[in-house]
Structures are given as C-alpha cells and as structure tokens.
Amino acid sequence: MNDHLEVLRAMRAKALEGGGPDRIAQQHARGKLTARERLALLLDDGSFQELGALATHDETEFGLADQRYPGDGVVAGFGKVSGRRVAAFAQDFTVIGGSFSRVQSHKISRIQDLALESGVPIIGLNDSGGARIQEGVASLAAYGEVFVRNVMCSGVIPQISVILGPCAGGAVYSPALTDFVVMARGTSSMFLTGPDVIEAVTGELVSIEELGGSDVHEARSGVAHLVADNELGAIELAKLLLGFLPQNNNEDPPQLVPYDPAERMADELNAVIPDDEAETYDVRDILGHVFDRDSFLEVHAAYAANAVTGFARLDGFAVGIVANQPAVMAGVLDIDASDKIARFIRICDVYNIPVVTFVDCPGFLPGIDQEYQGVIRHGAKIIYAYCEATVPKISIVTRRAMGGAYVAMSSRQMRTDIAFAWPSAQIAVMGAEAAVRILYAREVRAATDPAAVTAEYVRQYRDAFFNPYRAADVGQIDEVIEPRETRPRLIRALELLRTKVQQNPPKKHGLFPA
Ligand code: HXC
C-alpha cells in the first residue's frame, strides 16, 4: 500500500509543478502568474477540489512523447467564491503553451457538465496558444466538445472568461461563447489569426498588442466586457461580476444587506439636466445618485460609449442599467450601441435581473455608412431584446425621447412595466426644427419673414410636445416624477415587480436579428 501512496504522491507533486521550474520562472518574468496561483486568487482559501490532476496524453502522441505533464495544460475543478459554489479551470501556459489538447478538452468538458447539472457558475482563466498543433484534427474536435457545452450552458449558468495571456486561434471561441470576457491590460491578447499569418496572407504588419490587446477589444471590437490593469484586477473583476449574477437561471442574484437608505432623495438630481438644451451632461452622474452608494459596475465602458450599460444595486438587490449617454455623440443610438444594449438586456433577462433604463436620446444615427452597415437590423436588436425580456423593466425619460429612440428605448408598449418621466422630458416624433421644415414648408416659403415664421412654428411645436404630459395623458408615461424622487420610486416599483410573472409563447427559439 505504501508503494501505491508513494506513486500517487510523486505524481501529485509533479502535477503541482506544471511545465517545470524554468517555465514557471519564464511565466513570472512576463508578469504572469501560474494557473494554480491564479486559482488561489480566485477561490476561497482551501476550497479548491481538483479533478483530472494527473491526466495526460499517452506516449504515442506525435512529437510529444517526452513532454508528458500530469494535468496536461489545464488545472480544473470546483470550489467557492465568497462562499458560493463555482466550477473553475485555469489553462497552464507553462505546459506546451497552454495549447488545447484532447486531455484539456476532457477536463474542461467534465467540469462544464458538472457545473451545468449542479447549477453553478463556471469561470475559465484562459492562457493558451490555441489548438495543440501536434494533435492534429483531434485538437480541433476537442474544441467542438467544449463549444457545444458552452452553448448548452448559455443562459442556464453564468459563464465568465478571464483572459490572462495569449488566447489564439480556436482558443478565442470558447470565451466568445460565454457571457462575459474580462481581460488584463498588457499581458492578455485575443486573436483568431496571429500577426505571422496576417502578414503572409494580406501583407499587413501588426503587433500582437495592436491586433488583439485589451485596448482593441475594450474600445474597438467590443469582445472584452471588462478590462483591469493587471491579472489580480481581472480576477477581482470576475468575482465582483459574479456577485451580481445568480447561481443559475432558476435563481435570483444574491441580495446584499441594504446599506443605503431606500427613501434617500437626491436633491442634486433636480439640477442635473442643463437649462440650455445644447448642453450635455454625463448620465453616470445620475446613476451615482440613484443606486446604492458605489455599487455601479460598468460593463463595456469604453465600447460604444454613447450608451452606458452595467450592474448596480437598489436596496441591496441587483439591477441592470441601460442608459443613453448624452455626453458622447449626444447619446445617439448607432450600430455598436445597439449591439451593446441588446446583449446586455438579454443577459439581464436570462439571469432574472430587472432592467432600469434611462432615456435621453435624439434618435438613431443618420448616415450612409450606418445604413450600409445595417443599422436597421442592429437597431432591431434593441427592440427585440426589450420586447422579449420578461424580467421587471422600468424606464425613466430624463430629456429627449425622439422618434425611434422613444419606441426602442423601453417604451411602455414594449412590455415595460412602469414608465417614469422627469418634467424635463421631451417626447416627440422628431426635433422641432426638423418637424417644422416638413410640416410648414409651404407657409415658411410664402412668408415675408421666413425666420420669424419658422421660430413661431418651432415655439408652438415645442409647447405641444416638449414635455412629458401629453405622453402621460395617454398612459405612455405612468407618472411624471421629480428627479430627486427617482431612487425611492424605483425601489418601490421593483418591490412590487419582484413577483412579476410573464411568459412568452412556447417556441424552439425566436429569430434574433443578427
Ligand atoms: C503546440 C504550442 C502552441 C500550439 C504555443 N506552443 N502554441 N504548441 N500547439 N498551438 C508552444 C510553443 O511551441 C512553445 O514551446 C511554447 O508553447 C510557448 O510558446 P512561445 O511561442 O514560446 O510563447 P510566446 O512567444 O509567448 O507566444 C505565444 C503565442 C505563440 C503568441 C501563443 O506561441 C503562437 O503564435 N502560437 C500559435 C498560435 C496559433 O496560431 N494557434 C492557432 C492554432 S490553430 P517551446 O517548447 O518551444 O517553448 C487553432 C484552430 C482551431 O487553434 C479552430 C477551432 C474553431
């Protein structure tokens, strides 16, 4: 028996070394932690239960007979984050560049299955050179095993991908299929085809950072939802994010003990909308006053910054926030903002997180490029997502709600439960000048003083439409409230809606505009 124990202990000790001391030193020299060090940061002390620690490929593997490492490029298992059960894996770059192998696939698939069956979130710490080239088609098939499970888990258990090194080739698609991608600035990258292949095929020269660094995916591609300054920050962001999510789609997100008075009014909000309509403001100033102190976690902050999405708490309950951002492009909706908003609403809906929408939007962005790029089908995603969502939905029109933007941004008719407006709301088919140009072209042309006549028509139009009361008369707005009351109003509304039941017709799935 003692011999058997010795063998096991020796193999376990080897597994703890990953690719060996030299590779670990290289990993550290690059400012990166090892897979086990990362899991130790993610999981509660002593909670990690490893599975497949000793698995590796057999001696016949092409070119890898002398590179057999117990654990084979990934550390996987389950544990706890802030006392909540999770499944987790961390790719080990010190073992053949974290490349994705059959064994790696078996180990990750195994914990995906266990996580799905047990209804617990799964967090992947990614650091991989993509499909293990020596394994040939087997490593491609191995990806398929993980992808199918990513999709089966989608909308059932939260899936968070943290990118902590290169994530090349097929390695990017599993994260892309998960709910959230978190990157670490400077040390992580994501690309499908690397700089060498791009140079060979297109002749373009690009560095890894320029091609797929965190700045690219944070602000341009939108692949990354959250970016931290370093590895530790990225892991902390994943944990923070997890706090807003339920264990699975049959549960509600955890509620914190309320720490900010529910009846707190914010007088500052009464002065937040500038008197001069041409002036902008930062919608995040509003959010800071309404939600529980310091609870806002912005998601996709630098991508499509003309819209703001993120999680926060109201009286300790998790909520999702969608807002136009007047400080960027006047808060207009474009293709990227549409994609960002629609995706966020669907995440909230699937995980039972109420959606609170702040509306101040002049409409969809006019332009040939936007039309050619398909602003119609992208804009339709927002409408689809709001209409489809059955979670509690509350909207607040703070200023402009013009035309398509009024309808698309959580209008009452699209199954929004309660629609509030501030007295500064302007709800109209279009802006005053544009409306007068269309409605009174003949009168203005015939006038001896066209400018004066135009100004008079504009005044009449504004008197008629640039307030929330006409919309309130016909129930498009449920209540006009003072800005300072917004927090208690929202809390009471969400209290009512906590037991909301609404179902969509049975179907295989809808056809989300893509
Ligand atoms: C086997 C790999 C590997 C891979 C890296 N290594 N990627 N081994 N298969 N895919 C090995 C290297 O040979 C090296 O071993 C060790 O890992 C560390 O790699 P380095 O290149 O020294 O590290 P670094 O300079 O940091 O560069 C990291 C990297 C680079 C940018 C990820 O290794 C790289 O470009 N790898 C290939 C990426 C790629 O094209 N993947 C696509 C595969 S095809 P030694 O022993 O020399 O130190 C694919 C398609 C799937 O994934 C599609 C599914 C839908």
The residues, ordered by sequence, that sit 6+ positions from 358 with a Cβ below 8 Å of its Cβ are 283, 286, 287, 321, 322, 323, 324, 395, 396, 398
Residue 258 has pLDDT above 90, yes or no: yes
| Pocket residue to mutate for ligand 1, from 32, 96, 135, 196, most atoms within 8 A of Cβ | 96
Q: Is the confidence at residue 311, as pLDDT, over 90?
A: yes
Nearest Cα residue to atom 9 of ligand 1: 132
- Is 90 found in the same domain as 42? yes
Structural domain contains residue 186? yes
What atom of ligand 1 comes closest to residue 130's alpha carbon?
Answer: 52
Are both 200 and 277 inside the same structural domain? no
Q: Average the pLDDT over each of 85-94, 135-144, 179-188, 257-266 and give the range with the smallest value.
A: 135-144
Kindly state the percentage of the chain with pLDDT values over 90.
92
Q: Which residues belong to the active site?
A: 169-170, 404-405
Q: How many C-alpha atoms does 505 have within 13 Å on its Cβ side?
A: 3
Q: Closest Cα partner for 512 from 345, 307, 304, 352?
A: 345
Torsion of CA 399, 299, 256, 485, to 10 degrees: -10
**Which residue's CA is the nearest one to ligand 1's atom 30?**
129
Residue 127 Cα, ligand 1 centroid: separation in angstroms?
A: 10
CB 389 within 8 A of CB 355: yes
Give the chain's end-to-end CA distance (angstroms, integer).
Answer: 60
Say which amino acid occupies 305.
Answer: A
Same-domain status, 231 and 380: no
What value, to the nearest 5°, has the Cα angle with vertex 23 and ends 9 and 162? 90
Mean pLDDT of 248-271: 97
| Cβ count within 10 A of residue 436 | 23
Residues 16 and 150 in one domain: yes
Within this chain, do residues 112 and 223 fall inside the same structural domain, yes or no? yes
Amino acid 1: pLDDT: 65
- CB-based contacts of 310: which residues, under 8 Å, 6+ apart? 287, 296, 297, 298, 299, 301, 320, 321
How many structural domains does the chain have?
Answer: 3
- Residues with Cβ within 8 Å of residue 103, at least 6 apart in sequence: 52, 55, 56, 57, 72, 73
Tell how far the Cα of 397 is from the centroid of ligand 1, in angstroms: 51
Q: Residue whose CA is closest, atom 53 of ligand 1?
A: 170
Residues 12 and 139 reside in one and the same domain? yes
Q: Whose CA is nearest to atom 6 of ligand 1?
A: 97
User: Is residue 94 assigned to a domain?
Assistant: yes
Q: Are 80 and 156 members of one domain?
A: yes
Q: Residue 510: inside a domain, yes or no?
A: no
Q: Which atom, in ligand 1's list, is nearest to the CA of 98?
A: 17
Residue 253 belongs to a domain: no
Query: Which ligand 1 atom is at minimum distance from the Cα of 143?
Result: 54
Q: Give 97 Cα–ligand 1 centroid separation in angstroms.
A: 6
Q: Answer yes or no: do 126 and 50 share one domain.
A: yes
- Identify the domain boundary among 205, 225, 242: 242
What value does the mean pLDDT take over residues 330-351? 98
Q: Which residue has the least CA distance to atom 55 on ligand 1?
A: 170
- How confident is the model over 448-476, as a mean pLDDT? 92
Counting ligand 1 atoms within 8 A of each CB, the residue from 57, 94, 133 with the most, and so the one to mutate, is 133
Top pLDDT among 197 and 60 is at 197
Name residue 385's amino acid.
A
Q: 223 and 292 share a domain?
A: no
Q: How far is the CA of 93 from the centre of ligand 1 (A)?
A: 9
Asked, for residue 140, whether it belongs to a domain, the answer is yes
Q: Which residues line ligand 1 (CB under 6 A)?
A: 96-97, 99, 129-134, 140, 143, 166, 168-170, 173, 194
Specify the residue with its C-alpha closest to ligand 1, atom 37.
129
Q: How confident is the model at residue 42 (pLDDT cuts 50, 70, 90)?
A: very high
Band (pLDDT 50/70/90 cuts) for residue 63 is: confident
Distance CA 23, CA 67 (A): 13
The residue whose CA is least distant from atom 34 of ligand 1 is: 129
Q: What pLDDT is stored for residue 416 in this prediction?
A: 97
Atom of ligand 1 nearest to the CA of 139: 51
How buried is residue 121: exposed, middle or buried, by Cβ count under 10 Å (0-12/13-18/19+)?
A: buried
Asked if the structure places residue 317 within a domain, the reply is yes
Q: Which structural domain range is residue 452 located in?
A: 431-465
Instruction: Give the domain CATH number at 21.
Output: 3.90.226.10
Confidence tier at 57 by pLDDT (50, 70, 90): confident
Which of 208, 242, 276 is at the close of a domain?
Answer: 242
* Mean pLDDT, rounded, for 192-212: 95
pLDDT in tens, 381-435: 999 999 999 999 999 999 999 989 999 999 999 999 999 999 999 999 988 998 9
Task: For residue range 292-302, list pLDDT tens digits in order.
Answer: 999 999 999 99
Burial 13-41, CB ≥16 within 10 A → b, else e: ebbebbbeeebbeebeeeebbbbbebbbb
| Cβ 311 vs Cβ 319: under 8 Å | yes
Please tell me the predicted confidence (pLDDT) of residue 59: 75
Domain membership of residue 513 (yes or no) is no
Helix (H) or strand (E) holding 214: helix 214-215
Inside any domain, residue 260: no
Whether the per-residue pLDDT at 349 is higher than 80: the answer is yes
Tell me how crowded residue 437 is: count the other CB atoms within 10 A of its CB.
15
Helix (H) or strand (E) holding 270: none
| Contact criterion met (CB below 8 Å) for 252 and 237 | no
Q: Of ligand 1's atoms, which has the minimum distance to the CA of residue 166? A: 32
Same domain, 436 and 378: no
In eight-state DSSP terms, residue 169 is G
Question: Do 51 and 189 share a domain, yes or no?
Answer: yes
Same-domain check for residues 366 and 437: no
Cα(87) to ligand 1 centroid in Å equals: 26
